[in-house]
Every structure is written in structure tokens, then in C-alpha cells.
């Protein structure tokens, strides 16, 4: 879920419909009319219908219901308070201090996670695009974090940050980052860095895989030509590699940003949003509101707000990309 | 890129960077296993050493034989395998339709599938909970399979489509010339050729279902039908001092995903490359 859609998304975005030549001829020939009707209107849907039905009933209908919840009061623990309340939830949201804290945390969480994942992933992809001994094994091992279930990554890193059984606080104390070995996730100031580090660990392989695929599709002749012309490695990188990677980078970073902003598992398991909401991001706030307080109306309101923010972001990035490409 | 051919400093730097990545990737997993095999009496004295002075498999034994873990494991296996099988079957159909047909509404359906990959799935956690509970399906593993299947279909469909795209249309057209119906051609000619693709899709979906936590947490509260993530989390919050056992349980949870990963990882870059050509 959400883990690797990039390639396919991209592929479809780049060439949404490959060949539509036959559509004009559709109503014409009467002899073939019936079979064309069959081919274009019926047969594809025989293969598609299970997927459409499931997505419709399990995702789309609940999505609409969810949006309608944001205009209702639905508290499972307080069944008498149920009913339509108009924009009351949104008014509450606007004056909810925790919402604004969570919004700010969402920004930093996403910003630092994506930045580190991207630069470390790019570095790894560049390394993997060279030749060295034992590359296949190295690649398999270095991609392994990506296969680790998220709840387990979260627990493992929570343990690593625990001074009783984890080495990290002791190392950080030895390096002078901490005064004494304590758990940074118990201290509101640095707490968010715990889940961010876990997220970086988990997400670097993904960026590396995507960028490596893009690197491997750059024609080798370009590098040969550059070498003949006496280009330095840095020139080769900035003049050939980066321009070729740029479209892939743009789309991957955008999708990853959205995905990470939605990604609640790590924080929920590692800190539960605490201490004092210092690691609460919008998606964990949605989940805790729904799961612990069973206040479905308010949870849906936060979700709608998050969706709106992400939509604005996506539109902005696409607009920016269009502008930049024009110039 | 032949950066390394000339400069020895660059070569050293490159191997340093490679080992840095390797340590970063593997150290947490190493630590997980290390604590799991550390005897209980040594955890507080040698918990932060790189290797304990003696090792034991007691923690694994306790977890496997004296807790509910095998039941959680079984539940997760059932849910993940069920999800993987159903999703792959449905996605293969949808992917085939996308790959071989042009039809009205294709663009719309593709767009909807893309959108489902972007919006916060948590948004539907409340409605799903209400629907499932009004159907009396809370604590049912089947409801988890249905929900996970829906979540995974879009991605699995795009994946299957790219595998079908790689197979020439001529093959099934030839079979249809020879009198096969399209479905027979699909079954007898195309499916055998996409077996690796089907395997990869199964693997992806299995791993996704294996690690899903939040919906399982919401929909399952009964101890007997907990999946592995939910069980492990409950275990952790209930017995938060038994480090050795928790890590042993964690190490066990790694096994299925790692097995699948080893199987699918060679398709990752290979498959991505063919799709990325049009930069």
C-alpha cells in the first residue's frame, strides 16, 4: 500500500492512452458492429468488474461517507450526541491548538524525512550504478529495510533509542550530542527525530530503487561522448545525469511527500504522538482521535483538512513543474 | 560511469560509502536478533554491548511455545496469503483489460485508481469501522482480507498491466486464429508467460498485508483473531520489560517478509528499468 506506485503512476501519467485509433471506426461497419460493441463495451468490463466493484464499495463509498462524517457529530462512546452539525467540527478544528501543532509537526516530519531519504537514496543509486565486487549481494542487503514490516521497523528503532537495551543514546552521549544517555523520544524537543531516523532508514531503499531505474535508462553513449570530450566527473553528473533524472526526481519527490505526510504507523508505534503532542502529526492525530476517542466526526474533519492540504500541495507542484518546463 | 578507473582516493571513498550504507541498513536488524539471543540475566549488564558473552535460544522457545504468537502468526499468514491470492487474481484481470483493450471510461478508471493511491487511507477508517461493525464482521479475518484486497488492487493492477504489456499481442492473436476464445488464449498462452509477474505481484501484496497495522488495530480487538502486528503491539504494551521475548517475536516476524523479498528483489530494478525508459 503506497509503497511502490511510482513507476506505474509515472508510466501512466506519461502516456495515458496508447492507441485509440479504432474508436472512430466504432459505429461504422454494420457487419462488425456487434463484435465491436462486445470488444469495446462488454469484454473489458468482464475482466475489470471485480476490481471496480471492490474499489467502489471499499474505498470510494466509504470516502464519501467519511466526508459526510465531518459534518456530523459521531461519537461511538456518546451515541446520543449523534446528528448533523454543519460546520461545527471545522470551527472546533480551527480553534484546536493540537491541530496547529500537528500541522507544524507534519511539515517538519515530511520535510526532513523526504530530504534525507532523497539525498541518501540518490547517493546509493549512484553507487549502485557503478561496478564493484559483490554488487548483487550488496544490493539485496541494502534494500532489505524496505521489506521490514513498518510496525517492526518502528519497534526496532524505538528499542535502539532506549538507553537500557539500545546503543544509540550511549553513542550520542559519547559523541557529545547528548549530555547523558537518555531516550530522546521522552524529551519533547528532539522527540520527532526518533521516528524521522526510522523513516529515513525505511525509505532510502525506495528512493534508491526508483532513481537507480532512472539512471540505468540513461543511454551509455552520452557518457562515452562526455569522456571523449574530456568532461570531469562533476560535469558529467550535472550536465548529463541530473537533467535526465530531473523528471523522475520531481514526480518521485511529490508522491513520496504525500505518502510520508499520510504515514502514521511509525510515529504511532514509536511515540503515540507524545510526549505532550510533540510528535503528533495530522495522520496520527486522525488515527488516535478515531481509535482512542472513537470520535469519528472530528477524526473525519481532520482527515478532510489533511486531504485539502495535500491537494493544494499537489496542484502547486504540478503547476510549478509546468512553469519550469515551459521555460 | 567509470569514475573509479582512475583515482584511488575515489575508490577508497566509494567503498567507505558502500560500507556505511551497509552498516546503516543492517545494524538495526542485527541488534534485533542480538537482543533476542541474549540471555535474560545479561540484558541489563550487557544490553548495549556489541555481542553478549553467552547466547541462548530460550526467548524463541518461550515465544513460540508459551505465548499466543503462533496463533497471531497463523492469523497473519492466513490474512496475507488470502489477500495476496485474491488481489493477484482480480488485479490480473484488471491489468489484462488495461493492457489489451481500449474502451470507454478507461481514462476515468485509471485516474480513480491513481487517486486511491494518493489520499490518506486513514480517512476511511471511521466509515469502514462503522460498516464492518454494522455487518457484525468486527474481529473477522475475512473482513480484513476484503479491506486489504481493495487497498492493494490499484497498485497490483498497474504492476500486472506492465507485465502484460511486455508480452506481444501476436501470441494470443495467433491462438485466437487457431480457434481459441480470448479467455482460453489468456489461460493457455499468456498466463504461463506471466508467471514471474504473478509471483512478484503476490509477493508485493503479501508484504503489504503482512505489515498493515492501523486497520487491523481498529477492526480486531479479540485476542484470538489478532494479526501479528496487532499481537506484537499488544504484547509490547502489556509486557514492556521482557525485551528478549519481544525481540525474539520481532525476529520471527521478519522471516516471511525477508523470504518474499529475496524472491522479488531481482524484479524490482529490472522491472523498473523497462518502465522508466521514457524519461
Domain that holds residue B78: 67-276
B126 at A interface, C-beta within 8 A: yes
ipTM score assigned to the predicted complex? 0.84
Confidence of residue A27 (pLDDT cuts 50, 70, 90): very low
- Of A60-69, A251-260, B14-23, B37-46, the range with the lowest mean pLDDT is B37-46
Q: A12–B110: do the CB atoms touch at under 8 Å?
A: yes
Position B58 in a domain: no
Residue A275: per-residue pLDDT: 87
Considering chain B, what percentage of its residues have pLDDT values greater than 70?
Answer: 91
Residue B22: per-residue pLDDT: 93
In chain A, what are the domain boundaries?
Answer: 6-69, 96-326
Domain count for chain B, please give it: 1
Looking at domain A96-326, which CATH architecture does it have? Orthogonal Bundle (1.10)
CA distance B258 to chain A (A): 6
Residue A299: per-residue pLDDT: 92
Among A1, A147, A209, beta carbon nearest to B121: A1
Q: A40–B149: do the CB atoms touch at under 8 Å?
A: no
- Region A27-53 average pLDDT: 73
CA distance B180 to chain A (A): 15
- Region B149-159 average pLDDT: 91
CATH code of the domain covering residue B255: 1.10.3720.10
pLDDT tens digits along A144-163 = 888 888 888 998 998 899 88
B170 at A interface, C-beta within 8 A: no
Q: A300–B126: do the CB atoms touch at under 8 Å?
A: yes
Q: Which of B21, B86, B119, B120 to mutate to test the interface with A (most CBs of A within 10 A)?
A: B120
Position B21 in a domain: no
Exposure of A309 by Cβ count < 10 A (0-12 exposed, 13-18 middle, 19+ buried)? middle
B91 at A interface, C-beta within 8 A: yes
Residue B42: per-residue pLDDT: 78
Amino acid at each position: 500500500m503506497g509503497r511502490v506506485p511510482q513507476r506505474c503512476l509515472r508510466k501512466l501519467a506519461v502516456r495515458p492512452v496508447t492507441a485509440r485509433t479504432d474508436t472512430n471506426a466504432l459505429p461504422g461497419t454494420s457487419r462488425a458492429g456487434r463484435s465491436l460493441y462486445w470488444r469495446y463495451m462488454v469484454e473489458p468490463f468482464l475482466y475489470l468488474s471485480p476490481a471496480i466493484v471492490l474499489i467502489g464499495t471499499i474505498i470510494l463509498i466509504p470516502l464519501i461517507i467519511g466526508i459526510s462524517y465531518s459534518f456530523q457529530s459521531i461519537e461511538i462512546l456518546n451515541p446520543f450526541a449523534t446528528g448533523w452539525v454543519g460546520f461545527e467540527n471545522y470551527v472546533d478544528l480551527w480553534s484546536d491548538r493540537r491541530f496547529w501543532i500537528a500541522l507544524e509537526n507534519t511539515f517538519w516530519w515530511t520535510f526532513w524525512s523526504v530530504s534525507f531519504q532523497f539525498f541518501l537514496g540518490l547517493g546509493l543509486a549512484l553507487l549502485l550504478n557503478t561496478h564493484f565486487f559483490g554488487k548483487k549481494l550488496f544490493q539485496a542487503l541494502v534494500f532489505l529495510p524496505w521489506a521490514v514490516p513498518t510496525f517492526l521497523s518502528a519497534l526496532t528503532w524505538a528499542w535502539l533509542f532506549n538507553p537500557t537495551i539500545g546503543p544509540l543514546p550511549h553513542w550520542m552521549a559519547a559523541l557529545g550530542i547528548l549530555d547523558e544517555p537518555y531516550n530522546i523520544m521522552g524529551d519533547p524537543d528532539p522527540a520527532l527525530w526518533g521516528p524521522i531516523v526510522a523513516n529515513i532508514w525505511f525509505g532510502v531503499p525506495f528512493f534508491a530503487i526508483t532513481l537507480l531505474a532512472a539512471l540505468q535508462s540513461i543511454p551509455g553513449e552520452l557518457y562515452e561522448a562526455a569522456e571523449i570530450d574530456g568532461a570531469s566527473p562533476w560535469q558529467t553528473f550535472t550536465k548529463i545525469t541530473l537533467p535526465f533524472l530531473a523528471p523522475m526526481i520531481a514526480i518521485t519527490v511529490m508522491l513520496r511527500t504525500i505518502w510520508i505526510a499520510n504515514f502514521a504507523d511509525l510515529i504511532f508505534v514509536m511515540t503515540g504522538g507524545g510526549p505532550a503532542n510533540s510528535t503528533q502529526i495530522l495522520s496520527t492525530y486522525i488515527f488516535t482521535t478515531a481509535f482512542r476517542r472513537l470520535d469519528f466526526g472530528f477524526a473525519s474533519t481532520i482527515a478532510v483538512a489533511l486531504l485539502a492540504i495535500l491537494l493544494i500541495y499537489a496542484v502547486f507542484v504540478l503547476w510549478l513543474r509546468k512553469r519550469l518546463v515551459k521555460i | 560511469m567509470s569514475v573509479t578507473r582512475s583515482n584511488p582516493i575515489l575508490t577508497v571513498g566509494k567503498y567507505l560509502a558502500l560500507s556505511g550504507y551497509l552498516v546503516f541498513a543492517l545494524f538495526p536488524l542485527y541488534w534485533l536478533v542480538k537482543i533476542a539471543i541474549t540471555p535474560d540475566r545479561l540484558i541489563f549488564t550487557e544490553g548495549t554491548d556489541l555481542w553478549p558473552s553467552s547466547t541462548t535460544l530460550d526467548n524463541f522457545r518461550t515465544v513460540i511455545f508459551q505465548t499466543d504468537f503462533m496463533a497471531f502468526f497463523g492469523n497473519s499468514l492466513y490474512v496475507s496469503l488470502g489477500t495476496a491470492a485474491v488481489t493477484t487474481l482480480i488485479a490480473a484481470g484488471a491489468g489484462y483489460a488495461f493492457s489489451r483493450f481500449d474502451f470507454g471510461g478507461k481514462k476515468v478508471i485509471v485516474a480513480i485508481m491513481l487517486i486511491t493511491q494518493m489520499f490518506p487511507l486513514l480517512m476511511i477508517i471511521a466509515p469502514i469501522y462503522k460498516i464492518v461493525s454494522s455487518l457484525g464482521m468486527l474481529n473477522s479475518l475475512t473482513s480484513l482480507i476484503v479491506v486489504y484486497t481493495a487497498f492493494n488492487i490499484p497498485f497490483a493492477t498497474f504492476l500486472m498491466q506492465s507485465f502484460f504489456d511486455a508480452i506481444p499481442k501476436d501470441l494470443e492473436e495467433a491462438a485466437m486464429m487457431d480457434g481459441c476464445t480470448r479467455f482460453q488464449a489468456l489461460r493457455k498462452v499468456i498466463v504461463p508467460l506471466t508467471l514471474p509477474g504473478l509471483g512478484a505481484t503476490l509477493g508485493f501484496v503479501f508484504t503489504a498485508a503482512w505489515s498493515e497495522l492501523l486497520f487491523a488495530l481498529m477492526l480486531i480487538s479479540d485476542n484470538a483473531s489478532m494479526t501479528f502486528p496487532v499481537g506484537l503491539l499488544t504484547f509490547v504494551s502489556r509486557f514492556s520489560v521482557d525485551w528478549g521475548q519481544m525481540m525474539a517475536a520481532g525476529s520471527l516476524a521478519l522471516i516471511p517478509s525477508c523470504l518474499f523479498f529475496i524472491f522479488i528483489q531481482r524484479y524490482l530494478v529490472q522491472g523498473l528499468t523497462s518502465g522508466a525508459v521514457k524519461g
